[in-house]
Amino acid sequence: MDNTINILILSCGTRNLLVRYFKEKGNGIGRVVGTDCSTYAPALYETDAHYIVPRMTEPGYLDTILDICRKESIDAVLPLQEDELYLIASHRKMFEDAGITPIVSAAGSVNLCRDKYAFYQYLKQHNLPAITSCNSFEAFVKESEAGHMKLPVFIKPAHGCGSIGIQKVAHPALLEALCKYQDDQEDSYMIQNYADGEEFGADIYVDLLTKKPVSIFAKKKLRMRAGETEKSVSYHDEKLFELIEKTIEPLELAGPIDMDIFCIDGQYYISEINPRFGGGYPHAYNCGVNFPHLIATNIAGRSNERNIGSYESGIFMLKYTDLTIKRAL
């Protein structure tokens, strides 16, 4: 594959490894350009060119991104941050009219996945296994009286990300107080039966052309830190692969997808979908699951062949801290 495809990675932050993967020879990428609103985003300095841009909420942000695309002859734009996914997805035509492919799912699906309780309702409507949940203290009391929920529970902001605001709650008075406080913040808590089991993650690639999943990498999570998988081991189970495909089939997903799953008493339960690269993707890449190559193939106008679970199980990922040293700008 000729290295003629240029990609712009938005809000690249600390995704240094991801930048390196796109730059590796043989992946079909020509130049990797990065943006961030902070000069202190370390991944910027591993790109072939980088730009400091306004915050995505500021007027003119999209015009700035399009100007960069034209200057750098960008073929595809890859958003990484939750709020930016919807922004790019809802302005897809603006990019496509300029000959640029947004690597992002449909706006409706991005919005659904962003709302954790709405996604739970989607799972129930499609008869998919989900951990019993509700979205208010009053609803919890009713579910508890009916025998469907009990303390302790796990709570998280319905539109939260990065494990911010999540916690285990064992006392009803505390749960009521936390729910009341969160309601005042204009984002209610999703209350979920405590998942006392094993946690799994899946990195999925949905082909941009066929809209079908062509790659799935599953891992058992051994340790989490700040919402990201810190230690994990690669894992195979055809039953899990089938459930993943069944879950995403009705959704208009595209590109890299991150999914969280729990296994309780031998039964898998879908927890969340993040329609973007997950923080644990380096595990998949180092097991030979190459999403940058799949992206480059799609941008070149070719669909990818189905290749589910093509990796070795029992391979561990153990993250550790690294750093970048730069002269002051």
Nearest to 74 by CA among 43, 105, 96: 96
* Burial class, 94, CB count within 10 angstroms (exposed 0-12 / middle 13-18 / buried 19+): middle
Minimum mean pLDDT range among 200-204, 274-278, 317-321:
317-321
Residue 30 has pLDDT above 90, yes or no: yes
CB 138, CB 177: distance < 8 Å: no
As a dihedral over the C-alpha atoms of residue 104, residue 105, residue 110, residue 112, rounded to 10 degrees, the angle is: -170
Question: pLDDT category, 132, cuts 50, 70, 90?
Answer: very high
Q: Please state, in angstroms and rounded to a whole number, the distance separating the CA atoms of residues 132 and 130.
A: 6
Tell me: domain 5-103, CATH 3.40.50.20, correct?
yes
Structure tokens at 309: 């679970």
pLDDT at res. 36: 98
Could you tell me where in the chain the CATH 3.40.50.20 domains are found?
5-103
Fold for domain 197-318?
D-amino Acid Aminotransferase; Chain A, domain 1 (3.30.470)
Residue bearing tokens 């999209």: 62
pLDDT at res. 327: 85
Residue 286 has pLDDT above 90, yes or no: yes
Question: pLDDT category, 1, cuts 50, 70, 90?
Answer: very low
Structure tokens at 218: 């599953």
Of residues 115 and 186, more confidently modeled: 115
Residue bearing tokens 């039953």: 239
Q: Where are the alpha helices (DSSP H) in the chain?
A: 16-23, 61-71, 82-90, 92-96, 107-114, 116-125, 137-145, 172-184, 238-248, 281-285, 291-299
Nearest to 189 by CA among 133, 151, 145: 133
Question: pLDDT category, 3, cuts 50, 70, 90?
Answer: low
Tell me the average pLDDT of the chain: 94
Residue 226 has pLDDT above 50, yes or no: yes
Q: How many CB atoms lie within 10 A of CB 200?
A: 22
CB 27, CB 76: distance < 8 Å: no
Question: pLDDT category, 181, cuts 50, 70, 90?
Answer: confident
Residue 157 has pLDDT above 50, yes or no: yes
DSSP code at position 140? H
Q: Please state, in angstroms and rounded to a whole number, the distance separating the CA atoms of residues 23 and 43.
A: 12
Residue 146 has pLDDT above 50, yes or no: yes
* Burial class, 205, CB count within 10 angstroms (exposed 0-12 / middle 13-18 / buried 19+): buried
Residue 111 has pLDDT above 50, yes or no: yes
Could you tell me where in the chain the CATH 3.30.1490.20 domains are found?
132-193
Structure tokens at 131: 């951990």
Q: What end-to-end distance do the CA atoms of the chain give, in Å?
A: 37
Read off the amino acid at residue 110.
Answer: V
pLDDT at res. 184: 66
Cis bond upstream, residue 256 (ω within 30): no
As a dihedral over the C-alpha atoms of residue 11, residue 27, residue 105, residue 210, rounded to 10 degrees, the angle is: 170
> pLDDT digit string (tens) for 56-78?
999 999 999 999 999 999 999 99
CA angle 261, 209, 109 (to 5 degrees): 45
51 strand-pairing partners: 35
Tell me: domain 132-193, CATH 3.30.1490.20, correct?
yes
